[in-house]
Amino acid sequence: MDIQLEKLELIKLLAETNDESIIASIKNIFNSRKKDFWNDLTEEQQNIINESLEEYEKGNFSSFDDFIKPHL
C-alpha cells in the first residue's frame, strides 16, 4: 500500500474517533520516538562515553580478538 494513502487513512480514522485513549496512545508513540537516550544518562555516564570516544579517536583501543585471547 502507498504510504501517502496509509497516512490519509490514519488521518481519517483519527479525525473520526472520540476515544481519548487512542489519541493518547498515538501521542505516546510520537513522543517516545523523539526521546534521546543520552538525556537519560547521568553526567558521569556521559563523561565516560565521551572519554572513551576520545581514546578511540586517538587510536587507543584493542581489537575484540586481542581482548578475548587472555580470557580463553
The reported pLDDT for the residue numbered 26 is 93
All cell numbers assigned to 47: 563523561
The reported pLDDT for the residue numbered 69 is 85
The pTM of the full predicted model, rounded to 2 decimals, is 0.45
Rounded to an integer, the average pLDDT of 12-40 is 89
The reported pLDDT for the residue numbered 34 is 74
DSSP per position, 33-72: HH--GGGGS-HHHHHHHHHHHHHHHTT----HHHHHGGG-
All cell numbers assigned to 60: 587507543
Q: Helix 20-34 and helix 3-16: axis angle, to 10°?
A: 140
The reported pLDDT for the residue numbered 1 is 67
All cell numbers assigned to 22: 487512542
Residue 46's identity, in one-letter code, is Q
Does the pLDDT at position 57 exceed 80? yes
What are the backbone dihedrals phi and psi of residue 59, each rounded to the nearest 5 degrees, phi first?
A: 90, 10
